[in-house]
Structure 1
Amino acid sequence: MTSLPRAGRLPMPASQLSFQVVQGIRPLPEPLARPVLAIGNFDGVHRGHQAVIATARAMGARLGRPTLALTFEPHPRSFFQPSVPLFRLTPAREKLDALEATGLAGAIVLPFDGTLAALSAEAFVAEVLVGTFGIAGAAVGFDFHFGKARSGSPAFLKEQGAQHGFPVEVVEALLEADDTISSTAIRRALESGQVGHAAHMLGRHWSLRSVVIHGDKRGRDLGYPTANLALPEEIQLAFGIYAVKLTVDGIPHDAVASYGRRPTFDNGRALLEVHIFDFSGDLYGREVEVAFHGYLRPELKFSSVDELVRQMDADSRAARAILAASGS
């Protein structure tokens, strides 16, 4: 198994060791004044996003200015289509953590509401980027649009930058086997169980955070006690068995996980059930992070408990082998 790429990473300057988050349209604190902005939704902070951020950081280094991400919450798609669940690769907190890991000085989070949605592209540049944030430069992806009715394009932003006196760099699509790396492509990969392909596009293993809840204790009776996590309905991860790492208190543990409805028993609500190898301890009520390293098989219905346990034994061996080979 090849190691994951580290796209878009630059050495972190000493001046950018403290990541600051600014909420809303307001003047920036002095250490972040006159920033270069990487602008986008950044769901997933994948390798394409990392390329935009790296471009912004390189510009910031040339200009001697701090580099920030400018992003939006909730995701604009959730604002315009509130009844359509959106599979977020990185909810708000996870997105900020991923942005911090790129070496940015901080992030500006703008509330995406009716006021912002109604703002024209020209007003967004003049009033927000220039008037409030006083930007020194910007980098965006090739498909970034902004302003009322998405009227602002990357080309328009470059024109506005020339008028207002700040440079704009547009980062072209990052292709992988003639397919564009995108949040949509990563969602499709996870929905079909292709966690390795998703990891390659992300530049890291996809992970999620949740709180361990009480289950029916059936796994304990089978010799496979599990940490149970109820995931939001909008997470469309493929049902099946996975090799995972569960992290609690900053310590990762090798594990095997089942995500699905347990058709052998009750076909109930979807749960992520994680069996941690060589672990004992009480995790109830604790927040944990689960990173997906490999997909083993789809969820199946077994004719007997003994048949299920034999398969769980085989799944555990396969998961251990994948995790040992991944080395991360």
Structure 2
Amino acid sequence: MAEFLRLPGYANIPAHLRGAVVAIGNFDGVHRGHQAVLSRALEIAAEMRLPAVVLTFEPHPRAVFRPDAPLFRLTPAPMKARLLEVLGFDAVVEQPFTREFSSLSAERFVAEVLAGGLGASHVVVGYDFHYGKGRGGSPETLAAAGAAYGFGVTVMDAFSDEGGEVVSSSRIRVLLGEGEVTEAAGLLGYRFTVKADVTGGRKLGRTLGFPTANMELAEEAGLKHGIYAVRFRRAGGTLHDGVASFGRRPTVEENGTALLETFVFDFDGDLYGETCAVSLFGYLRGEVKFDGLEPLVAQMKRDEEEAKTLLAGVRPLSELDLEIAFEELADNSE
């Protein structure tokens, strides 16, 4: 299989990817609703024996139009690309979204981006897809444009969960902000995962018997502060169970920067500088200010045991979840 590509825009697309089946959208979260669109694109690509490509936009358009209201990105570009690769796409086109690009008319978007730049053979979008200046293009105008330019168009209906409620990125953000990571995983179809560099810290955890891998998440990260049962993936792919704290460490520091601090089970080594991923499996409790280090350590031991118990019983939610949060753990246990 050819190497998965992250392309910085629709210009100069490699020859072997021209004429692809193209799924278009922001796809923040790559949740089950997005996966319905993406899966249909992959099916059509297989039927037509063509490559499958995702056209998405960076930064998220809201960051351009509403810079004063930072958006909690569920899947920043690198994580989104990884998920799309696992799903089976050949490439993602990360089109720079600027004021200039947003001023393209709907007609020019089709002519220059889809027909000219990508040479799309077929396009798959969601029911609420709009494009071009002022969101002037709709699924209906896209279908008409496709007929004129010679590419097919498939529009997917809204995807609802088992309770009949539409799955959306905004709904998942609310759940994560409330610590409802299990319910969020049900909508995502995989465990919510963050990826960041491991940074140096005060090394207090090491002196307490709980050395942690510290990560600074984006300032707008909307995760609820507290303690989580997690799986920690190193840059090389090895996977470990762990327990993580996300918050400001009120017992040992006043008004500290919010950090994700993971105590990795059965690991003794140096992780500084590595880009690692943490998948959230369960919210154990809120962040608490303890009266000294002794009760803090006692609670950390209880957290460790609770996390181990929770993680011992988890099962993959999907093939995507298996790849992201389970695959290497099985290999390591042999």
TM-score w.r.t. the length of structure 1 is: 0.91
Query: How far has the Cα of 1:120 moved from its partner?
Result: 0.7
Q: Does 1:196 align with 2:185?
A: no
Q: Using a 3 Å threshold, how does the CA distance of structure 1 residues 76 and 308 change in structure 2: closer, same or farther?
A: same
Q: Counterparts in 2 of 1:1-328, with a 5 A limit? A: 17-176=2-161, 177-248=163-234, 249-267=236-254, 268-327=256-315, 328=326
Q: Using a 3 Å threshold, how does the CA distance of structure 1 residues 164 and 255 change in structure 2: closer, same or farther?
A: same
Q: How big is the alpha-carbon RMSD for the aligned residues of Structure 1 and Structure 2?
A: 1.5
- The residue aligned with 1:9 is none
1:244 and 1:264 mapped to 2: Cα distance?
A: 22
2:110 and 2:279 mapped to 1: Cα distance?
A: 38
Deviations 1:231-262 (A, max 9, x none): 22011110000001111121011110111111
Q: Using a 3 Å threshold, how does the CA distance of structure 1 residues 161 and 238 change in structure 2: closer, same or farther?
A: same
1:178 and 1:104 mapped to 2: Cα distance?
A: 29
2:39 and 2:211 mapped to 1: Cα distance?
A: 43
2:4 and 2:251 mapped to 1: Cα distance?
A: 47
- 1:141 counterpart letter in structure 2: G
Greater Cα offset, 237-246 or 177-186? 177-186
1:186 and 1:263 mapped to 2: Cα distance?
A: 27
Identical aligned residues as a percent = 48
* Secondary structure, counterpart of 2:7 in structure 1: strand
Deviations 1:201-256 (A, max 9, x none): 11111111112222222212222121112222011110000001111121011110
- 1:254 counterpart letter in structure 2: D
Aligned length: 313
Query: How far has the Cα of 1:38 moved from its partner?
Result: 0.4
Query: How far has the Cα of 1:106 moved from its partner?
Result: 1.3
* Secondary structure, counterpart of 2:297 in structure 1: helix
Q: Using a 3 Å threshold, how does the CA distance of structure 1 residues 210 and 21 change in structure 2: closer, same or farther?
A: closer
Query: How far has the Cα of 1:305 moved from its partner?
Result: 2.3
Query: How far has the Cα of 1:132 moved from its partner?
Result: 2.4
- 1:33 counterpart letter in structure 2: R
Deviations 1:284-306 (A, max 9, x none): 22221111111101111222322
Query: How far has the Cα of 1:27 moved from its partner?
Result: 4.2
Greater Cα offset, 18-27 or 244-253? 18-27
Q: Using a 3 Å threshold, how does the CA distance of structure 1 residues 22 and 278 change in structure 2: closer, same or farther?
A: closer
Deviations 1:251-274 (A, max 9, x none): 011110111111222232211111
Structure 2 unmatched runs, 5+? 316-325, 327-334
Structure 1 unmatched runs, 5+? 1-13
1:61 and 1:272 mapped to 2: Cα distance?
A: 41
* Secondary structure, counterpart of 1:101 in structure 2: helix
2:213 and 2:10 mapped to 1: Cα distance?
A: 41
Deviations 1:3-45 (A, max 9, x none): xxxxxxxxxxx5xx43223322324322112111100011121
1:71 and 1:26 mapped to 2: Cα distance?
A: 14
* Secondary structure, counterpart of 1:300 in structure 2: coil
1:28 and 1:266 mapped to 2: Cα distance?
A: 50
1:107 and 1:97 mapped to 2: Cα distance?
A: 10
* Secondary structure, counterpart of 2:240 in structure 1: strand
* Secondary structure, counterpart of 1:180 in structure 2: coil
1:22 and 1:285 mapped to 2: Cα distance?
A: 26
